[in-house]
Structure 1
Amino acid sequence: MTRSRTFEWQDPSVSAAAVGEESGLDFLRGMLSGRLPAPPIAAALGFALEQVEFARAAFTLEPGEEHYNPIGSVHGGVYATLLDSAAGCAVQSVLPAGMGYTSLDLNVKFLRPITVDTGKVRAVGTVLHHGRRTALAQADLLDSEGHLLAHATSSCMLFPLTPR
């Protein structure tokens, strides 16, 4: 039986243009409040920024069949995207205005399968260390009962943004 899914997103250049104009935390709070649009990947996969504070960010996703791999569970790339988003945004939340970051690596450990029966999942990222040029973050992917589904660590490079 054929299924379909449609989604919409806002112009990503709006939020891209705002990066570095304010602190990373204020930028993320702008996304959370709707002042800045969410990135298109969030619409494509159906996840959302749920919470942000200094050194911490959380995203949620209600798993659906559209996230499945050929063996009938959520594809590992979906896990990785949620974990990367949570860890990366946790790093972004500690950056002052004028600073940017990029992920250098992402190491993921898959612990439990996710299916539509799992219900809403939550990826929570926290900063373990941030210096002048690098940051280290971790993220946990949890089900609604707090069971650990996956864990990731991410190293990020920090750099000054060039004025536009």
Structure 2
Amino acid sequence: MSDDHKTLTQREEIERWWRGAGSPLNELLDMKLVSLGDGEATFEAFPSRKFYNPQQRTHGGYAAALLDSAMGCAIFSRLGREANFGTIELKVNFVRGIFAETGRLTCTGKVIHFGRRVQTAEARITDANGKLYAHGSGTFMVYNE
């Protein structure tokens, strides 16, 4: 981490990563962090045909990445600034297909359990009307490198 980032708060660091400076994933997947609280993170995403699989619907990996990002940021919002963590398990339930016409999606991740080394979280993907498209849970581990 460079010296200019050492003065950022945990929340500012997460926002810096996801709102432009640190993660090309948000640009690649047309998603962005829209809110961040203590143990909670919300993203919005815009599915398009570029994410379609051969069945002409959004590939499940798109929803999985969105769920994992929201849960991961929710976990990270509770960690100390120097902590490293990673997803060690991800469970995704696909409720209905996601299409370009689905429009803006919202994904909110929330911490369920926050232990010293292992944490769990859950997240839900909904459309502008609150209709559920996918939900999931994850297990995360703090590690030192």
**Runs of at least 4 residues off by over 6 Å:** none
The alignment covers a number of residue pairs equal to 142
Aligned position for 1:4? none
SS of 2:98 mapped into structure 1: coil
Which position in structure 1 is the counterpart of 2:73? Answer: 89
Offset at residue 63 of structure 1 (A): 1.1
Deviations 1:81-103 (A, max 9, x none): 00000011100000122212110
Q: How does 1:109-124 map to 2 (within 5 A)?
A: 109-124=93-108
Determine the structure 1 residue equivalent to 2:40: 56
Q: Which structure has the larger Rg over C-alpha atoms?
A: 1
C-alpha contact (below 8 Å) 1:23/1:95 kept by paired residues: no
Structure 2 residue aligned with 1:66, among 46, 50, 74? 50
Is residue 2:18 matched to residue 1:28?
A: no
What is the TM-score when the length of structure 1 is the normalising length?
Answer: 0.79
Q: Secondary structure at the match of 2:21?
A: coil
Distance of aligned partners of 1:144 and 1:38 in 2 relative to their CA distance in 1, 3 Å threshold: farther
Unpaired stretches in structure 1, ≥5 consecutive residues: 1-16
Aligned residue for 1:13? none
Structure 2, unmatched stretches of 5+, are none
Q: Identity over aligned residues, as a percent?
A: 31
Contact 2:15 2:33 in 1 (8 A): no
Give yes or no for contact 2:17–2:23 (8 Å, CA) kept in 1.
Answer: no
- The one-character-per-residue Cα deviations of 1:36-58 (angstroms, maximum 9, x if unpaired) are 61411111111111111110111
Q: C-alpha distance in 1, partners of 2:61/2:143? A: 27
Q: Does 1:79 align with 2:63?
A: yes
Instruction: Give the Cα–Cα distance (whole angstroms) in 2 for the partners of residues 24 and 154 of structure 1.
Output: 21
Q: CA RMSD in A?
A: 1.9
